[in-house]
Structure formats: structure tokens, C-alpha cells
Amino acid sequence: MATKKTPPRPAPTATPAPPKCGPCDGTGEVATTVHVGRKRRAVGKQAGICLACFGTGEATTD
């Protein structure tokens, strides 16, 4: 008697990637203007942590 053939298992589905944060576009960093002097002149930009996602790059689910 021949052995019974079982059908192959379905391929596992990949979990969807979490949505990217809007202000930082998923990088976790935003550009922050640097001010100097008494008149608070803008002299350049520096990288700062994104306050919307706290540097993770993922959008909040709330």
C-alpha cells in the first residue's frame, strides 16, 4: 500500500512594516536651527532627536 501524500504547507506571511514617522520620515532625527547672540540670529542647523517618535522612526499608534 502506498503512503498518503500530504499537501505542502502554505508559506508564512510577512508581518507588515510599521508606518514611518511623519516629521522625521523614519530617520529618527530632525533638523534644528541653532541661534546665537543677543538678537538670536540663526547661524546653522544641527541634528536633533524627533520628539514625535523619540528617535525610533516609527509612527505612534495612538
DSSP the chain: -PPPPPPPPPPPPPPPPPPBPTTTTTSSEEEEEEEETTTTEEEEEEEEE-TTTTTS-BPP--
pLDDT in tens, 5-36: 899 999 988 888 888 998 999 899 999 999 99
Enumerate the domain spans of the chain. 19-62
Give the pLDDT of residue 31: 93
Give the pLDDT of residue 62: 67
Enter the pTM of the model. Answer: 0.57
Give the pLDDT of residue 18: 84
